[in-house]
Structure 1
Amino acid sequence: MKIVLLDGYELNKDLNWHLLQDLGECTFYDRTPVNDQNEIIKRISDAEIVITHKTPLDDDVISKAPKLNYIGIMGTGYDVVDIKSAHKNKVVVTNIPTYASDAVAQFTFSLLLEATSQVGLHNRLVHENKWSQVPDFTFWDKPLLELKDKTLGLIGYGHIAQKVAKIGHAFSMKVIFYNHRPKKIADTLAQQVSLDELLKKSDVISLHVIQTPETMHLINNDTIAKMKNGVILLNTARGKLVNEDDIKKALNEDKVYAYATDVVQKEPIDSDSPLLKAKNCYITPHIAWAPYETRERLLNITIANVRAYLSGNPQNVIN
């Protein structure tokens, strides 16, 4: 059984794959060039099991890997794999749907609190001796906002969003949500509304949907126009959910108060990204998923998925 891990750098540097090595002959790559299709094909040409994090596996790649029977995605989103092609070629694909729910919910509020409480800014100013130079016991350089009684709108209402809803209640926020497939169960944490109502009523909007053709550029000039003036937008889902030129315009015109995101359209970010020229834009380098404990859980579930597949009872199958 030949197993190939295409891009394990984020886990390889401080976690151990020895349990996967017990399941077959393993080849580990820290990184695989995502734009070099020939190299991807070369690396998986005789593999039966392939594990990928962000290395894309499209129809051309999958169809040229004749021994391939299983693809394990090290994450929740599965846009890096052509699912239709996998199905056509009888390749089982699994993902890891809930490994980072707590970490991403925590990080969602880290972004929101940075935008509203300005901890990073004022910490820097204190270290630059700005506080020592004022005559008062206090000072602030940007407005500080309180979350109590603000309306938090969640676009998407899966595991992460439901945890975000709980945290929102802890801050005495009113929570509403929109889900493309209406939830049939009553929820005491959040009120279900239409997308237009969510855009109209929310003081804070947080994105929690996967990237699909339908959700690409969900946030654009048209949807932004329906939002409150001064809305805060959070994104810990996918960068391509947001039209970055449109959000830059909205930020610079003060329609949107702040955009706080852990993801961007092209990762790593381009040096000429429009977001880098936008006011009140907070950007972190796709780290919501990255606490040690979360990555350790990711590794363990990845191995458990492979083990379940080999036993004939695959779990977390998405095709």
Structure 2
Amino acid sequence: MNIVFLDASTLHSGELDLSVLEQFGTLTCYPASSESEIPERIKSADIVITNKALMTAANIAAAPHLKLIVSCATGVNQIDLHAAKSTGVTVSNVAGYSTPSVAQHVFTYILNFATQIPQFNAESRDWPNFPIFTSLAHPCFDLEGKTLGIIGMGAIGEAVAKLAIAFGMRILVLERQGSPNSTLPELPRLSAEAFYSNCDFVSLHCPLTPDTEKCINTSVLGKMKSSAYLINTGRGPLIDEAALAQALSEGTIAGAAIDVLSSEPPATDNPLITCDHPQLVITPHTAWSTIEARKRLLAGVVNNIETFLEGAPANKIV
């Protein structure tokens, strides 16, 4: 088997041993691959591994020996699934590897908003301008008794909810028609009107679908408390970014923490990138990326290839 990893730098920077993939055949790893480079790099590939590199219909057609595409991620939006299915190419992904990592990232955001540690840290070397070594310049608050609203009660939403409960927070879940409500069924499910107006934090953990695209928009932001914070570690297009930037600048909500954007890397004129609101935190899609999560991800890639070669592919998408 010829195995090509199109963007291995998304998984590691030297700290993981990718030679474990060599048990299945000849391995070629590229740190990253541009759209124009992909056809030549995969022309002899039997198996392609990709995190962000696009496997379009044209690229799939350029690989006549291709049998398996492994998404080195949970999402598969970088792969043309229709083209893969029509050409008999199996597609698999890796789910669940990043749940603890993302949950702790969400709570890092929440704790930073509650404690204002980044702001105090920035000022702590300038104490000659303060009469005593303390400051009330950035008001802090307890999480106990505050309300966290969760949109999408899957594995990550559940993990975030359990952390919030440990901090003494109240949890609300956005009601979704047709949901079995089987995860933490004791938590209140509220309609949108009641949900947004009662939350101190809103955290997004739902999949990106036509129904959820830009589900956070001007109308929704207007329903939130002016003291509320929005957190997105899900998918960038869940948020109307221009509407969020405007809501921040107008004081409609207090702040936001964003790990994902509508396009990555973002355009230089992305309204959130150009927004200088002091309570807007942006991280470059790193919520998933603890070393432990990446080890689990690599193990998932190995398992997907192994089970495919055994004739019983795990985590098969198409």
2:141 corresponding residue in structure 1: 145
Do the aligned residues in 2 keep the contact of 1:115 with 1:282 (CA within 8 Å)? no
2:226 corresponding residue in structure 1: 229
1:204 corresponding residue in structure 2: 201
**Pair 1:271–1:63, CA change in 2 (3 A):** same
Which residue identity is paired with 1:251? L
CA RMSD of aligned residues (A): 1.8
1:318 corresponding residue in structure 2: 317
Q: Which of 247-256 and 286-295 deviates more?
A: 286-295
Q: CA offset at residue 186 of structure 1?
A: 6.3
Q: Which of 47-56 and 59-68 deviates more?
A: 59-68
1:3 corresponding residue in structure 2: 3
Do the aligned residues in 1 keep the contact of 2:154 with 2:183 (CA within 8 Å)? no
Separation in 2, partners of 1:271, 1:72: 31
Separation in 2, partners of 1:198, 1:48: 49
2:280 corresponding residue in structure 1: 281
Separation in 2, partners of 1:197, 1:85: 43
Q: CA offset at residue 289 of structure 1?
A: 1.3
Structure 1 segments unaligned to the other structure (5+ residues): none
Output aligned runs, 1:273-312, within 5 Å: 273-275=270-272, 276-279=274-277, 280-312=279-311
Residue 109 of structure 2 is aligned with which of 106, 111, 115? 111
TM-score (norm 2): 0.93
Separation in 1, partners of 2:175, 2:281: 26
Output aligned runs, 1:167-246, within 5 Å: 167-178=163-174, 180=176, 181-185=178-182, 187=184, 190-246=187-243
Which residue identity is paired with 2:294? R
Separation in 2, partners of 1:186, 1:53: 29
Q: Which of 43-52 and 54-63 deviates more?
A: 54-63
Q: CA offset at residue 184 of structure 1?
A: 4.1
Q: Secondary structure at the match of 1:145?
A: coil
Q: CA offset at residue 251 of structure 1?
A: 0.3
Q: Secondary structure at the match of 2:114?
A: helix
Residue deviations 1:78-120 (CA, integer Å, cap 9, x gap)? 2111222222222211111100000000000101111221111
Output aligned runs, 1:239-278, within 5 Å: 239-275=236-272, 276-278=274-276
1:74 corresponding residue in structure 2: 72
Separation in 1, partners of 2:195, 2:91: 34
Q: Secondary structure at the match of 1:277?
A: coil
- 1:92 counterpart = 2:93: no
TM-score (norm 1): 0.92
Q: Which of 3-12 and 179-188 deviates more?
A: 179-188
Q: CA offset at residue 278 of structure 1?
A: 4.2
Q: Secondary structure at the match of 2:212?
A: coil
Q: CA offset at residue 187 of structure 1?
A: 2.1
Separation in 2, partners of 1:244, 1:157: 23
Which residue identity is paired with 1:175? I
Do the aligned residues in 2 keep the contact of 1:232 with 1:256 (CA within 8 Å)? yes
Separation in 2, partners of 1:189, 1:75: 31
Which residue identity is paired with 1:21? E
Separation in 2, partners of 1:161, 1:102: 11
Which residue identity is paired with 2:264? E
Do the aligned residues in 1 keep the contact of 2:158 with 2:184 (CA within 8 Å)? no
Separation in 2, partners of 1:231, 1:23: 50
Q: CA offset at residue 203 of structure 1?
A: 1.5
**Pair 1:185–1:304, CA change in 2 (3 A):** same
Do the aligned residues in 1 keep the contact of 2:152 with 2:206 (CA within 8 Å)? yes
Structure 2 segments unaligned to the other structure (5+ residues): none
Q: Which of 291-300 and 171-180 deviates more?
A: 171-180
Q: Secondary structure at the match of 2:286?
A: coil
